[in-house]
């Protein structure tokens, strides 16, 4: 296959993936009202809670640890440069804004993508291979309502929580560095953080977390449903789920950040 043909094939596959993701996303969203505990039938709520523990609670140690490390690194690196300009006080702003707008949602998404996208695609892929998805269909049950929608609802609930906690961990790590290097008190640091962060930064962080949750769960589900064959195919699907969801998360982050700056939301109040 020539180079141009390879590019063409990649584009065609990308468009097919985008179309399949869109159709699947819409199918899942239509089923969400049915699985809410009060508004819907409530039959799948136990499954949603189980997924919240799997996707959210069990990811907290990893994303928290990553945020702590990244926060400390960011504070250290920025301090070493800002010191030359006598602007060490701006380390607080850099860590707080950087984590709220960017690193909090991104680190959470990358840590969960590696865990949950692969786990979701493996679980659903195994269900396809063992004919459990077919069994749901022939029983007259909708696999989207039964399997996909609870995962998505769980992600929509837990991702913003995880993101907030990761962001706080990253910001706290910045305090740890400044406490060691400058003997800064927690009160001064906290006040500086509050002054640096705008409400729209927090809103942007939460919107990003929802977008990343959508990408990770939908890609994981799609790759799982595409499995054809045996256990080897399940392995391929988990790899594809992690790679694709990671790439799409970063691409979405780029687009969101560009929009944020294009609309001038980054200017101070």
CB of 58 to other proteins, least distance (A): 16
- Binders of other proteins among 27-86, rule CB under 8 A? 43
Rg, the chain, Cα only: 21
DSSP letters, 150-190, are: HHHHHHHHHHHHHHHHHHHHHHHHHHHHHHHHH---HHHHH
CB nearer to other proteins: give 77 or 130: 130
Spatial separation of the C-alpha atoms in residues 72 and 196, rounded to whole Å = 18
- Binders of other proteins among 119-158, rule CB under 8 A? 130-132, 134-135, 137-141
CB of 122 to other proteins, least distance (A): 12
230 touches other proteins by CB under 8 A: no
DSSP letters, 26-54, are: HHHHHHHHHHSTTTS--TTHHHHHHHIII
CB nearer to other proteins: give 81 or 134: 134
Q: What sign does the CA torsion over 43, 46, 49, 55 have? A: negative
Residues touching other proteins, count (CB under 8 A): 11
CB of 27 to other proteins, least distance (A): 12
Q: Tokens representing 176?
A: 């740890």
CB nearer to other proteins: give 29 or 135: 135
CB nearer to other proteins: give 6 or 77: 6
| Binding site residues, other proteins, CB under 8 A | 43, 130-132, 134-135, 137-141
């Amino acid at each position: 296959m020539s180079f141009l043909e390879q590019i063409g094939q990649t584009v065609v596959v990308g468009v097919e993936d985008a179309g399949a993701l869109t159709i699947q996303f819409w199918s899942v969203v239509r089923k969400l009202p049915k699985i809410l505990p009060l508004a819907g039938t409530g039959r799948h709520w136990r499954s949603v809670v189980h997924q919240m523990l799997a996707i959210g609670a069990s990811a907290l140690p990893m994303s928290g640890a990553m945020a702590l490390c990244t926060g400390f690194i960011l504070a250290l690196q920025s301090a070493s440069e800002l010191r030359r300009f006598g602007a060490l006080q701006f380390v607080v702003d850099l860590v707080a804004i950087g984590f709220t707008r960017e690193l909090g949602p991104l680190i959470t998404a990358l840590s969960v993508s590696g865990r949950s996208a692969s786990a979701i695609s493996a679980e659903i892929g195994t269900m396809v291979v063992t004919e459990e998805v077919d069994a749901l269909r022939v029983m007259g049950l909708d696999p989207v309502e039964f399997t996909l929608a609870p995962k998505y609802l769980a992600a929509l609930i837990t991702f913003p929580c995880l993101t907030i906690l990761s962001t706080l961990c990253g910001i706290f790590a910045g305090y740890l560095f400044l406490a060691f290097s400058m003997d800064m008190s927690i009160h001064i640091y906290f006040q500086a953080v509050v002054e640096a962060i705008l409400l729209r930064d927090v809103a942007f962080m939460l919107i990003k977390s929802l977008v990343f949750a959508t990408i990770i769960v939908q890609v994981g589900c799609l790759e799982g449903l595409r499995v054809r064959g045996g256990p080897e195919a399940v392995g391929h699907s988990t790899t594809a789920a992690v790679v694709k969801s990671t790439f799409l998360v970063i691409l979405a982050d780029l687009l969101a950040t560009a929009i944020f700056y294009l609309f001038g939301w980054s200017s101070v109040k």
